[in-house]
Amino acid sequence: MKRVVTGISATLTAILLTASLTTGTASATPPNIPSAATAASRLATLTVAAETNQSSYNRSLFNHWITISGACNTRETVLKRDGTGVVVDSSCAATSGRWYSPFDGATWTAASDVDIDHMVPLAEAWRSGAYAWTSAQRQSYANDLGGPELWAVTDNVNQTKGDQDPSTWQPPLASFDCTYARAWIQVKYYWKLTLQSSEKSALQGMLASC
C-alpha cells in the first residue's frame, strides 16, 4: 500500500510541476478588440494626415522587449498568452507549445517559427505621430499588452508585412480582414495616431467584410 501511495504522490507532483510551467488553452487573440460598429465609429474620429518624419525613424527608439514579470519579457509573455500548452524553462523561454497564426491560418510547434507582430508597426506609428512622443511613451507602445497591438504570428508573414499599412498589405487569410481592421483602428485610436487617406479607405473596405 505504501508503494501505491508513493506512486500516486509522485504522479501528482509531476502533474503540479507541469501545470506550473504550462498555460491552459489560449484564445490566441489579444484583448480589447472593438466591435465592427465601434471600430467604424472610432475610425471616423481619426485625423487624416500625410505621414511625416520618415527619415528620422530608428527601431531602437522603441525599447523592447522589456521585462514584464519575473524572468519573462514581452515576447515571452505574448507567446504564453496566445499559445496552447506552452511549456517554459526557468528563463521563461518556451520549450514547447502550439501557436496559431491568425494572419495566415498556420499552426506552429516551435517558438522560433513565431514572431510577435506589432499590429501597427513601429515605423508606421513613428510616421503617424510617435516621432513626437517621449521615450517612455514609445516603450509603452512597443510593449503594449493591454490592447490588440501584439500578435503571435508566422515569422515570414510578419517579415513580409514589414512596416506597411492596410493600403499596401493585408493578411493572407482574407477571413481575418475584419478582425485585423478592428484591431488596427483600435491601436491608432487609443494611441491618438493619424492615418492616411488611402489607409482609411482600405480599413473601411476591410470593415465591410465584418
163 within 8 A of 125, measured Cβ to Cβ: no
Residue 26, pLDDT score? 45
- Distance CA(146)–CA(154), nearest Å, equals 22
Residues of the chain with pLDDT under 70: 1-28
Entry pTM: 0.87
Quote the CA–CA distance of 84 and 27 in Å, as a whole number: 8
d(CA 115, CA 110): 11
Residues in Cβ contact with 7 at an 8 Å cutoff, skipping those fewer than 6 apart: none
Q: Residue 25: how many CB atoms within 10 A of its CB? A: 9
Alpha-carbon distance 62 to 10, whole Å? 47
Look at residues 159, 166, 153 and name the one whose alpha carbon lies nearest to residue 104. Answer: 153
Residues belonging to the chain: 210
- Residue identified by cell 509603452 is 140
pLDDT of res. 6: 32
Please report the pLDDT score of residue 29 as a whole number.
86
- CB half-sphere exposure, 75, CA atoms < 13 A: 16
Residue 27 is predicted with a pLDDT of 53
Answer positive or negative: Cα dihedral of 151, 153, 157, 158. Answer: positive
> What was the pLDDT predicted at 5?
33
Grid cell, residue 116, equals 510577435
Mean model confidence pLDDT for the chain: 90
CB 100 within 8 A of CB 173: no
